[in-house]
């Protein structure tokens, strides 16, 4: 495909090369292979697999990725040195779409103090090494390292020579994260207008985050003609990191009119890719990191939660599902209000009247002042305390235990329950003990499969007619439910605690069904 055949923004992912240059982010070859296949699946256009001449291990990683990855180009970085370029070409031998990426600095600072070369020597080196790379690979990218601090006239000269000798992508790195958006954008506009032969190449940005401007600078480059951006998952990279892929991709997607161009990334895979990188490197990200941070779609304050419940667009500019996060969460904490509490309680199967909700809300605020986050189990306890009578649909009419009780015995329980729809159902079951037998019988009556995770009974009062409390933790339909009931008979309390949970789950199912019908 010619450089100008399409106007989409190519994503050049350098997680495995520049990303790996972040201290603490080294990856083994199998880890790199895992990440590379994830990147290909994500839809990145180019995977920079490494710097083949850096070490035998790097060579092996690049060549393994080149052999295995299909669907994305695979690039290897090389200095303007024959050996580097030949090693890159050798490592890329089996790639479906290989790219040699060569670089040399163009700023006077780097020329004088690092390379100890004159401008003319750098120009000669570009000619020699772009020509060599092109003789070994049809796809050659040239990077003018420290471009943003280079003399503009000299930079134009260097880029023109690179195009003339076969480079098809011209990368303009802000190597030390020094540029600001207006300036970096203007640099691209100038190059687009003034570099001879630029229409034969794709202009590319490569931004570092030393001033926290890597993404803003990349977007300014796109606004001014860049059609490749170099970036990394989670923004990892040398020093403060590189531009973060997920932020660039979602900025283009969220503001299509503004940018007028898109990437080909499958955005639903952004969050899984971010999690996989964290798992591989052990390098965590800030909770508030845009797009993929733990808090990116979490809403805590009452006014926001109230707005979200009415219409998500009030406080969300993109949907979490679009980046692979299953749903936004209303985190219940000290800043939450009644709307969010009532919504979460409904999801847990509690329909509270206004007085009970007010009582629950007061208890919730007291707890939230003491705890950073209030969990579902806390809410269940609060709701159970606030609610008056059991609200069905199942009601216990009678229960009987027959047979011996004790080691090796198999007592039989018979329970009779009524349902709000008019049914009266009786079932029996045997079990290892009376509670087991009774829970099995209730399971038969309600036709509801569950797994008992925890069961506790305790005495609340003293004496022969002491009140016994039973608590159950049930795992059903992918989550845990807590139930509690009180009776002078602990077996009855146990049955009521289980029925309490069964009822909540049934009410929750009804609520979901009603919501789906309404939607």
Closest to ligand KIV by CB, 208 vs 344, is 208
- What lies within 8 Å, CB to CB, of 440 at 6+ separation is 413, 429, 430, 431
d(CA 89, CA 185): 33
- DSSP single-letter state for residue 327: -
Q: Please report whether residue 145 would count as binding ligand KIV according to CB under 6 A.
A: yes
Is 103 one of the binding residues for ligand ACO (CB under 6 A)? yes
Q: Facing residues of 75 across strands?
A: 48, 99
We find the least distance from the C-beta atom of residue 17 to ligand KIV, in angstroms, to be: 8
CB of 295 to ligand ACO, least distance (A): 31
Query: Known binding site: residues?
Result: 18, 206, 208, 242
* Size of the residue set binding ligand ACO (CB under 6 A): 15
What 3-state DSSP class applies to 387? coil
Site string for ligand KIV, 16-35 (x = CB under 6 A): --x-----------------
CA of 199: how far to CAs of 45, 122, 202, 341, in Å? Answer: 20, 24, 8, 58
The rounded distance, in Å, linking the Cα atoms of 289 and 319 is 16
Q: Is 171 in the site for ligand KIV (CB under 6 A)?
A: yes
**Using rule CB under 6 A, residue 145 touches ligand ACO:** yes
CA distance linking residue 230 with residue 75, whole number of Å: 12
Rounded to a whole number of angstroms, the minimum distance from the CB of residue 3 to ligand ACO is 23
CA gap 267, 481 in Å, rounded: 34
Taking CB under 6 A as the binding criterion, the range among 116-124, 167-175, 364-372, 465-473 that sits at the site for ligand KIV is 167-175
Report the nearest approach of ligand ACO to the CB of residue 43 (Å).
Answer: 25
Candidates 51-59, 268-276, 342-350, 447-455 — which segment interacts with ligand ACO by CB under 6 A?
51-59
- Position with the least CB separation from ligand KIV: 173
Residue 206 binding: pick among ligand KIV, ligand ACO, none (C-beta 5-8 Å cut-off by kind): ligand KIV
- Backbone conformation region of residue 409, classed left if phi is above 0, alpha if psi is from -120 to 50, else beta: beta
DSSP string of 263-286?
----GGGHHHHHHHHHHHH-----
Q: Which does 383 bind (CB under 5 to 8 A by kind): ligand KIV, ligand ACO, none?
A: none
Which of ligand KIV, ligand ACO, none lies near 114, with the C-beta cut-off 5 to 8 A by kind?
Answer: ligand ACO
- Tell me if 173 contacts ligand KIV by CB under 6 A: yes
- State CA 60 to chain mean position distance: 30
- Residue 468 backbone zone (phi > 0: left; psi -120 to 50: alpha; other: beta): beta
Strand ranges (DSSP E) for 341-478? 394-402, 412-419, 424-430, 451-459, 468-476
Q: Two tokens at 160?
A: 């023109």
Binding residues for Mn(2+): 18, 206, 208, 242
Q: Which residue is nearest to ligand ACO (CB)?
A: 79
Query: Using the rule CB under 6 A, is 175 a contact of ligand KIV?
Result: yes
Phi, psi for residue 326 in degrees, rounded to 5: -65, -40
* Rounded least distance, CB 81 to ligand ACO, Å: 5
Q: Residue 232 interacts with ligand KIV (CB under 6 A)?
A: no
Residues that bind ligand KIV (CB under 6 A): 18, 103, 143, 145, 171, 173, 175, 206, 208
Residues at the site binding ligand ACO, with contacts judged by CB under 6 A: 18, 21, 51, 53-54, 79-81, 103-104, 114-115, 145, 175, 238
């Amino acid at each position: 495909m010619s450089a100008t055949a399409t106007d989409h923004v190519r994503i050049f992912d350098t997680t495995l090369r520049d990303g790996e240059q972040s201290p603490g982010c080294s990856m083994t070859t199998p880890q790199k292979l895992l990440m590379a296949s994830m990147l290909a699946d994500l839809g990145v256009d180019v995977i920079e697999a490494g710097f083949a001449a850096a070490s035998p291990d790097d060579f092996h990683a690049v060549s393994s990725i080149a052999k295995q990855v299909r669907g994305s180009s695979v690039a290897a970085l090389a200095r303007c040195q024959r050996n580097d370029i030949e090693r890159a070409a050798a490592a890329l031998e089996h790639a479906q779409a290989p790219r040699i990426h060569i670089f040399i600095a163009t700023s006077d600072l780097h020329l004088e103090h690092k390379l100890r070369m004159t401008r003319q020597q750098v120009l000669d080196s570009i000619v020699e090494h772009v020509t060599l790379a092109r003789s070994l690979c049809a796809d050659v990218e040239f990077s003018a390292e420290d471009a943003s601090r280079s003399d503009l006239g000299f930079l134009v000269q260097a880029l023109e020579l690179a195009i003339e000798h076969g480079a098809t992508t011209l990368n303009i790195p802000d190597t030390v994260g020094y540029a600001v958006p207006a300036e970096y954008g203007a640099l691209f506009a100038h190059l687009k207008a003034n570099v001879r032969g630029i229409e034969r190449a794709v202009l590319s940005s490569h931004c570092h985050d030393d001033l926290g401007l890597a993404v803003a600078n990349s977007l300014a480059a796109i606004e001014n003609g860049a059609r490749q951006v170099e970036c990394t998952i989670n923004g990892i990279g040398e020093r403060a990191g590189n531009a973060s892929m997920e932020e660039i991709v979602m900025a283009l997607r969220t503001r299509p009119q503004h940018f007028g161009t898109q990437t080909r990334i499958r955005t639903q895979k952004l969050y899984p890719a971010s999690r996989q990188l964290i798992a591989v490197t052990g390098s965590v990200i800030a909770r508030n990191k845009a797009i993929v941070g733990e808090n990116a779609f979490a809403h805590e304050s009452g006014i926001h939660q109230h707005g979200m419940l009415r219409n998500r667009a009030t406080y969300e500019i993109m949907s979490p599902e679009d980046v692979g996060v299953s749903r936004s969460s209303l985190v219940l904490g000290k800043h939450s209000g009644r709307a969010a509490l009532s919504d979460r309680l409904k999801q847990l199967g509690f329909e509270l009247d206004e007085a009970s909700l007010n009582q629950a809300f007061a208890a919730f605020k007291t707890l939230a002042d003491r705890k950073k986050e209030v969990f579902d189990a806390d809410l269940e306890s609060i709701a159970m305390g606030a609610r008056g009578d059991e609200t069905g649909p199942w009601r216990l009419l009678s229960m009987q235990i027959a047979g011996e009780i004790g080691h090796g015995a198999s007592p039989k329980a018979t329970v009779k329950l009524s349902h709000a729809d008019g049914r009266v159902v009786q079932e029996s079951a045997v079990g290892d003990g009376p509670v087991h037998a009774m829970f099995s019988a209730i399971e038969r009556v309600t036709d509801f499969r569950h797994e008992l995770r925890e069961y506790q009974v305790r005495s609340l009062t003293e004496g022969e007619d002491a009140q016994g409390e039973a608590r159950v933790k049930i795992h059903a339909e992918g989550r845990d439910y807590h139930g509690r009931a009180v009776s002078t008979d602990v077996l009855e309390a146990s049955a009521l605690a289980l029925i309490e949970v069964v009822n909540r789950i049934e009410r929750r199912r009804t609520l979901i069904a009603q919501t789906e019908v309404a939607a």
